[in-house]
Amino acid sequence: MRRFVIVGSAASSSPNFLLQDIPSTSGRLDVLVRALRAALLVSHGVRRDARVYLVLQGDPDAVVTLRVDGAAAKYLRPDERSLATLIKKTLALAASQATSSFAVLKPGVAAARGGIEVVLPELGGSALCLLEETGADLRGHAFVGDDLTFFAGDHTGLPAPLRALLIARGASVLSVGPQSLHTEDALAVVHNELDRRAGDARRCDA
């Protein structure tokens, strides 16, 4: 299982953003939408062993986390507008139905009220990896097992308190290369590295 936790420090949990202007009406939810695509989708398929958490914490009084499960998600299309529409509809349902534990609101898509505190109990013994430009080179990292959780920030990076919390929990700080990349590109490099290590044994279902 590869899990990706994307923290949207500015992203709003309101469904009232405009699909024709996502960046300036949602707190840069567009960054998370593209990260979702990179973490979950391949050409003509879904990574069935990937799970993505989008932490929408732009409004401190209404923090919501969405969980999208590659094993169960249906009708996912790769374009930004379709994925944003799925998020918009899920957030509309979450406004009345979400609780402090994850509830499935669409096939493979769940929501919970709360941020990282609702994600951490789901991770079990997964190896925690924090993606950061100045971390150790991902290429030289020896992963233990194949239950891995990667944390990435939005355009503002990972919040310092979360970074400290993860390091206190033993997270490895990993870099995918010398350049500061867009979040979705950093995730694509992670998948690429793990795909290469896994060789031809892995296939993605359409």
Least distance (Å) between residue 58 CB and ligand SAM:
15
Least distance (Å) between residue 27 CB and ligand SAM:
15
Residue 168, token pair as written in the block: 């206190």
Q: Per CB under 6 A, does 27 bind ligand SAM?
A: no
Among 92, 159, 182, 195, binds ligand SAM (CB under 6 A): 182
Minimum CB distance to ligand SAM smaller for 23 or for 177? 177
Least distance (Å) between residue 101 CB and ligand SAM:
26
For residue 27, is it left (φ>0), alpha (ψ between -120 and 50) or beta?
Answer: left
The DSSP call for residue 126 is P
Q: Per CB under 6 A, does 192 bind ligand SAM?
A: no
Least distance (Å) between residue 175 CB and ligand SAM:
4
Q: Per CB under 6 A, does 175 bind ligand SAM?
A: yes
Residue 85, token pair as written in the block: 């529409």
Question: What does each C-alpha distance from 138 to 34, 186, 190, 197, 205 come to in angstroms?
Answer: 22, 11, 8, 12, 26
Question: By CB under 6 A, which span of 21-29, 44-52, 126-134, 192-200 interacts with ligand SAM?
Answer: 126-134
Q: Which residue has the tokens 């799970």?
A: 51
Q: Per CB under 6 A, does 113 bind ligand SAM?
A: no
Least distance (Å) between residue 186 CB and ligand SAM:
4
User: Quick one: the chain helix, strand, coil %, rounded to 5?
Assistant: 40, 30, 35
DSSP readout, 132-192? EEEEEEGGG----SS-EEEEEEBTTB--HHHHHHHHHTTPEEEES-SSPPPHHHHHHHHHH
Question: By CB under 6 A, which span of 13-21, 57-65, 92-100, 129-137 interacts with ligand SAM?
Answer: 129-137
Q: Cβ atoms within 10 A of the Cβ of 158, count?
A: 20
Among 15, 45, 78, 157, binds ligand SAM (CB under 6 A): 157
Among 98, 112, 119, 131, binds ligand SAM (CB under 6 A): 131
Question: Which residues contact ligand SAM (rule: CB under 6 A)?
Answer: 131-133, 152-153, 155-158, 175-177, 179-183, 186
